Amino acid sequence: MKPQPKLNLLYSRQQIAETVDRLAAELNRDYPGKHPVLIGVLKGSFMFLADLIRLLDFTLEVDFVRLSSYGAGQKSSGKIRVVADLQRSVKDRDVLVVEDIVDTGLTTGFLLAHLRKQKPSSLKLCTLTEKPSRRKTPVAIDYLGFTVPDKFIVGYGLDWDERFRNLPGIYVLEE
């Protein structure tokens, strides 16, 4: 077993709920009458996506992709591949990618390029968190929850070697 690392609260369950409410209001303003496909990026975005879509009042569909980027640690390999792709094509669809975190941007940048090849009618990005200080490739974020410091964060779907996804708040993992 790994030793128990120290976790410091960054955003409480309540702060996250308020931010998810705000993002849902922005989407409810922008998407009425559009019937978009929301694409959750597994595994980290499952909790955010589940909370977000309950607050959306327009017709929508949900699909998932799974990408490999990080190994069992905190360093990105930089090599990204699609491990599980969408069930249906998003050609001519309004697409909203729902991410847990944009860190270097390599994963999200790769996914957006992958989706763009299918010629969606629109392609937007909603991410709960981003670490702008670590960006290696530019990524346009249309809907942003929190800008986080350059620290490794866990909870609310985000993991450290598969642990801590279940925490209702977001925590900084202290080295």
Closest approach, Cβ 33 to ligand IMP, in A, equals 31
CB atoms within 10 A of CB 130: 22
Residues contacting ligand IMP: total by CB under 6 A: 17
Closest approach, Cβ 43 to ligand IMP, in A, equals 8
Active site annotation includes 94 = no
Instruction: Scan residues 66-125 and list those touching ligand IMP (CB under 6 A).
Output: 69-70, 76, 100-108
Report the residue number, 76 or 118, with the smaller CB distance to ligand IMP: 76
Residue with tokens 């598969």: 162
Query: ω before 79 within 30° of 0 (cis)?
Result: no
- Our finding on whether 128 is near ligand IMP (CB under 6 A) is no
Q: What is the DSSP string of 31-83?
A: -TT--PEEEEEETTTHHHHHHHHTT--S--EEEEEEEEEE-SSSSEEEEEEEE
Residues recognised as catalytic:
103
Summarize as ranges the residues that interact with ligand IMP (CB under 6 A).
44, 69-70, 76, 100-108, 152-154, 158
